[in-house]
């Protein structure tokens, strides 16, 4: 059974993120992509545009001293331009660590990611981690 192209696209994104390859990651997104981050912390909000989204990912790396690790569990698709990815986020920041289940809901148009909605298992814990 072959993997759906939308699932393969999402997996390539996770691989690029894991390697810190922002150029490869950016190539998977439209210029006007938006990443929506939940919560009430300095990373929360709507990051609009490829450079803003990539800056968000760079900032995550910087704020955690490069300790972030993402363990991808599954990618689900609907065959109509949507994909859901479920993963565990691991990272350290100062004297605090975070291990939390997260999900990303992707909208894909023309083989590129146009929108990313982020969900988390524990908004309060993430807010405390990023403050």
User: Domain ranges in the chain?
Assistant: 5-130
Domain 5-130 classified CATH 3.30.565.10?
no
**Which pLDDT does position 2 carry in this prediction?**
85
Alpha-carbon distance of 91 to 51, in angstroms, equals 23
pTM for the structure as a whole: 0.94
What is the full per-residue pLDDT of the chain (131 aa) written as tens digits? 789 999 999 999 999 999 999 999 999 999 999 999 999 999 999 999 999 999 999 999 999 999 999 999 999 999 999 999 999 999 999 999 999 999 999 999 999 999 999 999 999 999 999 99
């Amino acid at each position: 059974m072959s993997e759906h192209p939308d699932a393969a696209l999402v997996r390539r994104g996770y691989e690029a993120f894991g390697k810190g390859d922002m150029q490869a990651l950016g190539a998977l997104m439209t210029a006007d992509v938006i990443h929506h981050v939940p919560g009430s912390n300095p990373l929360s909000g709507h990051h609009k545009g490829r450079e803003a989204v990539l800056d968000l990912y760079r900032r995550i790396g910087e704020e955690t001293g490069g300790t972030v690790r993402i363990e991808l569990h599954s990618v689900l698709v609907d065959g109509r331009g949507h994909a859901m990815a479920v993963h565990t986020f691991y990272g350290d920041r100062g004297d605090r660590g975070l291990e939390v289940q997260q999900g990303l809901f992707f909208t894909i148009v023309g083989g590129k990611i146009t929108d990313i909605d982020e969900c988390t298992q524990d908004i309060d814990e993430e807010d405390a981690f990023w403050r």
